[in-house]
Amino acid sequence: LYTAPDSCEGRCEEPYSEEDECHCHADCERFHSCCKDYHRHCRPDGFSSSQDAITDEDLLDISEQLYRADHNKARPTDITINPQYQAGPDETGDQEDRSPQPLYKYVNEELFSKPTYASFIKLLDNYQRVTGREEDVTAEELREQDNFLKEVMKTELMKKLFTFLHKKNRYGSPQEFVADLKEMWFGLYSRGDGEQDSSGFEHVFSGEVKKGKVSGFHNWIRFYLLEKQGIVNYFSHNFNGPWDTYPDVLGLQFSWDGFYKEVGSAFIGCSPEFEFGLYTLCFIARPGRACPLSLGGYSLSIQTYTWTKSTYGNGKKYIATAYIIS
């Protein structure tokens, strides 16, 4: 009676083993290590069968709460973008620069002096962008990680997220939550040849280059700072969200030092804690699947993926990627 190693069919409540690709016991949700079909086989009633489950309704409600709690986001007068050319689906891959002007006409850089922005920006130069090159993490860089986590946890937004996850029995204390954030986002793993060359934070926020293409790189602050230096060249956009204030959402094409990103997506004008919090929520609630959210009455989805080749703690998974489905 062979069972596929990535399925829960016939494996419900099987004891934890680190040899298993994924797990089917009651704690697997807490450790983000469930097989994708866990709910189909082991929870016949779906998420609603447990008070600890995170329902789609919960996600829509908590995301609106986080949206309202983003007090550090840009005001409409803080940013002026110039999206220019909108590329059709058949044009995103042709690497043509159809927008002669930069994407950012104006950004009020006073935003960057806010503690969460300042501590976030300090992290961006900590990485070798090419996969396969081992990351050399210094004591100073570890302090920068801790400082960023300390600053975001002071915000109402991240406090609300912790309260929600605590009620859902995912974390017992803020200290446990912060320790797990540090591992899932900053813990190193290998995308290359066995080197500890990548992390969820590097991939999502700072960006990587893999096989001659831009990989990850979903952050507006990083984009703005590099565009200002002439290192990033904006080509076009394929999606512009319905928001008439910030945060907005853009799907975009660009090159980074000559390496191309065919379809990137980014929140524009949100605070670092907003993006960090939403991606964390979706990674915990819907790893490997589309995560339905609501922002200011408008729906959107975030896709996250777990890193499957290595784990931390008791079989917990690192973040491989997180991005808005545009």
What is d(CA 108, CA 80) in angstroms, rounded to the nearest whole number?
9
What angle (nearest 5°) sits at the alpha carbon of residue 164, between those of residues 160 and 167? 135
Residue 284 half-sphere exposure toward CB, CA atoms < 13 A: 27
Which position among 32, 73, 203, 237 bears the catalytic label? 203
252-289: b (≥16 Cβ within 10 Å) or e: bbbbbeebbbbbbbbbbbbbbbbbbbbbbbbbbbbbbe
Which position among 23, 168, 261, 317 bears the catalytic label? 261
CA 323 to chain centre: 6
Would you call the peptide bond into 89 cis, given omega within 30 degrees of 0 as the criterion? no
Query: According to DSSP H, which parts of 31-173 are helical?
Result: 38-42, 56-68, 115-123, 139-153, 156-167
Beta strands in the chain, from DSSP E residues, in sequence order: 79-81, 104-107, 208-210, 213-215, 232-240, 248-256, 259-268, 290-295, 298-312, 316-324
Which position among 23, 218, 237, 317 bears the catalytic label? 218
| Catalytic status, residue 203 | yes
| Catalytic status, residue 71 | no
What is d(CA 98, CA 275) in angstroms, rounded to the nearest whole number?
28
By the 8 A CB rule, do 268 and 79 touch?
A: yes
| Catalytic status, residue 261 | yes
Catalytic residue numbers read: 203, 218, 261
